[in-house]
Structure 1
Amino acid sequence: MRKGTKLVAASAGLAMSLSLAACGDDGGSGSATGDRLEGVSLTVGSKDFTENILLGEILAQALANEGADVTNQTNLGGTSVAREALLAGELNVYPEYNGTGWTVHLGNEDPSQDPEELYTVTAEADLEQNDIKWVGRSPFNDTYGFAANGDLAAAEGGFDFDSMAAYLEANPDTTVCMESEFPDRPDGLILFEEATGYTVPQSQQQILDTGLIYTETADGNCDFGEVFTTDGRIGALNLELVDDPGVMILYNVSYTFQNDVYEANADVYDEIVEEILAPLDEEKMAALNAQVDIDAVPYDRVASEYLEEIGLG
């Protein structure tokens, strides 16, 4: 996924070049830390929302722990900013979602609802067309969705896509809060509209920054909000997910590398990425996101603690 098109400045701590010393016993059991990337320089980026920043930070630290000289450009900007930086060689790698790759970057329609098939066709096409290598695939699927204000959901007995559309049609003053690019994305609002037959008019759309959507919907200033389904704020705030019968596109994450960079140390990158992504089901990813968004733990600390947990710290 995704999200936003404006370049935003990384915070000073996140934009620093990482040159961390490798930790742990070189080649020790259960740990891939060492010096296998000694002398390798890499620029790691991410988009500008919590989950993607965190995934970029985790990879940046893991690569540095293997001896790489890592320039950290996480929180670089929205989808187009990160992708264009990768294609231009300003980034060597950043985390991307397979549904975004297939629809936005490759310009295709009707993505598979099978996560392995979607990964395979996206990876093959992007490598052939753009020399971009997709590495790994997360168990979690962080798709677009909607959350209703919790009080409204309780009063109405909950919502699915059809009942949300019916409520919007019957209540013209209802608001749906969304990010700026969601109404225009091929994998965004149009999928809800095509599935339900209801076109959300401009009068019911309110455009907000990502973080505000959650709090404004929880507070009742928005009746519904566009959300990311692994966001830790959903369980922590007065929100209830609108049930999706399988309309929205799959968004399992991979790390997208410039292929020449990947090929130079393919086995090391494959191993590191596999160890990072394998434990990340929906519950685990939401918990990591919540540490940042709810508990206000810094990205670098959440990342380092996760790497210690999985033996890459």
Structure 2
Amino acid sequence: MWQPGRVRRWLCLLLILFACTSQVDTGVPAGSDDVATGDLSPLRIASGPELETRVLAHTVQRLLELAGQPTRIVVFGDGRDARQAMELGDVDVQAGYTGETWLETLGRADPPGDPRASFVAVRDHDEPEDLVWLRPRFGDGSLDQPPANATFAFVVQGAAGPGADLRTLSDLARRLSEQPDALVCVDREFGTRVDGLRAVLEAYSVRSDRAFLAADPEEAVRGVAAGDCLAGLTTTTDGAAWGAGLRPLVDDLRVFPAFVPLPQIRAEVIEERPTVRVALGPMAAQLTTALLGSANARVTAGEPVEQVADELARELLVLARRTLPEDVEG
């Protein structure tokens, strides 16, 4: 998934979590036509320019097309513009992030780390606005269980290496306590702020004055892969990290805010075309962090986003057929 602008922006959003300040990009939407033929008007799907938002938008598109719905992707400069287009009815569907909506729409600087709490808050806020979030299936919080959580993460080597036996941030905390000289690669601003790395380390009972290696997320991935750092800070679904065989550690204390990507649909579209909700259900219920990270890795390596999204959509459909629907309301 490696997109420097996106990850740096999310690092800024994380600092908002502690510092109660807001920082967002601006951009001008640009259209991209990909219209299926038929009597129905094409459903307009919002997408951002970042690799991951493109993967998600094209996955939404394939799920809808496989259900017989014509579609058109509309590209926006950032999430704020896409959100505004949803509110104004200029687009019909998007894959939104719960944590981003919490920060930028609800205007709150304390997005929860619990995916369920994050979902319920944005769902309840947007329901009166006639914007419907599809409910995810809540698993055990592991990378292979839904929902996907594209939040911040420390990644470690996934095969033979100094961090190969680590699974959670609590595991990393114990290792750092045992090995005071072990380095972590962290964005410089995040690493030097009291409300950044220090706050995360204190939450996991690690000495907060330990040294770190200054590195942006791309450099952090390279540093961990080369063995220069025991762990590096990026996002859970970073395609470059997944492509390098690195593995994000589970934030078992849920310090980082949840960024659950979910289909969001205008209520009038659901009323007019109930098939849309059914078609996108597998994405909400089956998408995992591992599936999204692996898809991002393929596109990062040069595979066409359309091909990757098509295969991801079909895999989600297969998984949905194997899974009984849940009866518990979110």
The TM-score range, normalised by the shorter chain, is: 0.5 to 0.7
**92-101 vs 78-87, which moves further:** 78-87
In the TM superposition, what is the alpha-carbon distance from 1:283 to its structure 2 partner?
A: 3.6
In the TM superposition, what is the alpha-carbon distance from 1:173 to its structure 2 partner?
A: 8.7
In the TM superposition, what is the alpha-carbon distance from 1:64 to its structure 2 partner?
A: 4.0
Pair 270,16 (structure 1): closer, same or farther in 2 beyond 3 Å: same
Seq. identity, %: 20
Matched, 1:218 2:237: no
Pair 300,165 (structure 1): closer, same or farther in 2 beyond 3 Å: same
- Look up the equivalent residue of 1:162 and give its one-letter code: A
In the TM superposition, what is the alpha-carbon distance from 1:146 to its structure 2 partner?
A: 1.2
8 Å CA contact 1:20, 1:65 repeated in 2: no
- Look up the equivalent residue of 2:309 and give its one-letter code: A
- Look up the equivalent residue of 1:226 and give its one-letter code: L
In the TM superposition, what is the alpha-carbon distance from 1:229 to its structure 2 partner?
A: 1.9
Distance 2:310 2:159 in 1: 37
In the TM superposition, what is the alpha-carbon distance from 1:155 to its structure 2 partner?
A: 7.8
- Look up the equivalent residue of 2:278 and give its one-letter code: E
**1:29 is matched with which residue?**
none
**1:50 is matched with which residue?**
51
**2:132 is matched with which residue?**
133
- Look up the equivalent residue of 1:134 and give its one-letter code: W
Distance 1:85 1:200 in 2: 45
Structure 1, unaligned runs of 5 or more: 22-34
Distance 1:54 1:223 in 2: 30
In the TM superposition, what is the alpha-carbon distance from 1:122 to its structure 2 partner?
A: 2.1
In the TM superposition, what is the alpha-carbon distance from 1:94 to its structure 2 partner?
A: 1.4
Distance 1:87 1:181 in 2: 33
How many aligned positions are there? Answer: 282
**2:187 is matched with which residue?**
177
Distance 2:191 2:100 in 1: 12
Distance 1:287 1:227 in 2: 15
Matched, 1:17 2:33: yes
Q: Secondary structure at the match of 1:57?
A: helix
Distance 1:183 1:66 in 2: 50
8 Å CA contact 1:41, 1:68 repeated in 2: yes
**1:102 is matched with which residue?**
102
Structure 2, unaligned runs of 5 or more: 1-5, 10-23, 138-145, 321-330
Q: Deviations over 1:22-68 (max 9, x none)?
A: xxxxxxxxxxxxx6xx4233321233443332121011233345554
**2:18 is matched with which residue?**
none
Pair 131,288 (structure 1): closer, same or farther in 2 beyond 3 Å: same
Q: Secondary structure at the match of 1:154?
A: coil
Q: CA RMSD in A?
A: 4.5
In the TM superposition, what is the alpha-carbon distance from 1:282 to its structure 2 partner?
A: 3.6
Matched, 1:255 2:263: yes
In the TM superposition, what is the alpha-carbon distance from 1:104 to its structure 2 partner?
A: 4.0
**2:281 is matched with which residue?**
274
**1:83 is matched with which residue?**
83
